[in-house]
Amino acid sequence: MWAFDASSMIYAWDNYPKSHFPKLWDWMHSQIFIGTISMPLAAFEETAHKLPDCGAWLKDGELSILHPDTSILRCAAQLKDLLGIVGERYGAGVGENDLIIIATAEIKGLPLVTNEAPQASLPNVLSKYKIPAVCSYKKPPTSVMDFLGFIKQSGATF
């Protein structure tokens, strides 16, 4: 099973339109149906807000939505502390929803598919780390790859 961030699903929907890549989306539907693809609630809500048609497609496909529970919220709070984020001052790095998405992947033991670009040089201030950097920095690290990497590792061809 894989946890998808909104950035990956939005990237896929925008760059591989269903009308041009129907076999890809048939495959994605089958991956959703068998439970290979899931999304943390925060990621699903962001996707559905930005791309309502994609959100409807995911919902119609019975996407497994991972709801935050106490252990996920506790993990997100620990990540926030690890990064030195105080109160609501998230700044240029990850936001609250990002931390919940990372925590969901960690608690569920899932790799995270995100199209948030890795930072070429990491900032000196941890609170400016983006999702890929946070996933690598924390212990244990969470495996991260982008949408194309997800397709390649699956071995699927279209």
pLDDT at 138 (0 to 100)? 92
Q: In the chain, where are the structural domains located?
A: 2-154
| Percent above pLDDT 70 for the chain | 100
pTM of the model as a whole: 0.94
pLDDT tens column, 126-152: 999 999 999 999 999 999 999 999 999
Confidence of residue 89 (pLDDT cuts 50, 70, 90): confident
CA 68 to chain centre: 14
- Taking domain 2-154, whether its CATH number is 2.20.25.90 is answered by no
**Whether pLDDT at 92 is above 90:** no
What average pLDDT does range 28-43 have in this prediction?
A: 97
Question: In one letter, which amino acid is 37?
Answer: I
Other CB atoms closer than 10 Å to residue 9's CB: what's the count?
29
